[in-house]
Amino acid sequence: MNHTFWMFTMLGCLGLGVVGCTKEAPKPVISDTGRPETRSVEAANAVGYNGTAMRQKLDKALDANDAQTQKMNQAAEQ
């Protein structure tokens, strides 16, 4: 009886220790302000680059390219 009591006591303490020490990982903040196709560029933050700034510059370049393409298509239609 005494052996069983100590075994369950130790297992209970171990279980509480495991539950108490587990830390839920914080959810990353996703700044979805740009184009969906450039979302992966922000992963450059993991290696020390400013992925947000890179994504913003890439978004501006793609927006300028889209505007130029639209302008050319309108000129071709006339």
Q: 74 vs 54, 64, 71, CA distance in Å?
A: 30, 15, 5
Please give the pLDDT value at position 61. 95
**Which tops the pLDDT comparison, 40 or 71?**
71
Please give the structure tokens belonging to residue 10.
């130790």
Q: Could you report the per-residue pLDDT of 22-49, keeping only the tens digit for each?
A: 666 666 666 566 788 888 888 898 899 9
pTM over 0.85: no
Residue found by looking up tokens 């302008």 in the block: 71
Q: Where are the domains of the chain?
A: 36-78
Distance CA(45)–CA(30), nearest Å, equals: 12
Please give the pLDDT value at position 70. 96
Mean per-residue pLDDT for 64-78? 94
Please give the pLDDT value at position 78. 83
Please give the pLDDT value at position 74. 94
